[in-house]
Amino acid sequence: MTPVHPSSPDSDSSKNPPRPKLSKEARFWLGLFLAIVVLAGASFLAYYTYLALFPKNPRLVVRSVRIRGTRNWNPDDPDKRQERINRICAILDIQPGKTQMFPGDNANADLPAMVAKLRHELPELEQVNIYRVLPDQLNFELYERIPVANLDEKFYIDDSGVVLDKTACGDVSASLPNLLCKPSIARGSDDSSAFKRGETLSSSAVRTALTFIRLAEKGEFTEKSSESNSRISITINYIYITNHIQCGVFYNGDPREFIVQLPLSISEKQFRSDYFGRLIPALEEAVRNKSAEKGQILDLRYKERVTVREIN
Output the CA torsion sign for 253, 259, 264, 270. negative
* pLDDT at res. 106: 41
pLDDT at 216: 93
pTM: 0.75
Q: 293 pLDDT band (50/70/90 cuts)?
A: confident
φ and ψ at residue 226, rounded to 5 degrees: -155, 170
Each residue's pLDDT tens digit, 279-289: 999 999 999 99
pLDDT on residue 104: 47
Task: Tell me phi and psi for residue 67, to 5 degrees.
Answer: -130, 150
Looking at the predicted structure, is the pLDDT value of residue 252 above 50? Answer: yes
For residue 104, the one-letter residue type is G
Give the residue, 51 or 217, on which the prediction is more confident.
217
CA 223 to CA 212: how far, in whole Å? 14
Q: What is the pLDDT of residues 91-101, one digit of tens each?
A: 998 888 777 76
Q: Which of 31-45, 137-151, 257-271, 284-298 has the lowest mean pLDDT?
A: 31-45
What pLDDT, in 10s, does the model give residues 103-115?
Answer: 544 445 678 888 9
Q: Are strands 258-262 and 307-310 parallel, antiparallel or unpaired?
A: unpaired
Go through the domains of the chain in sequence order and give each one's CATH number.
Answer: 64-144 (3.10.20.310), 148-310 (no CATH)
pLDDT at 40: 84
CA 173 to chain centre: 23
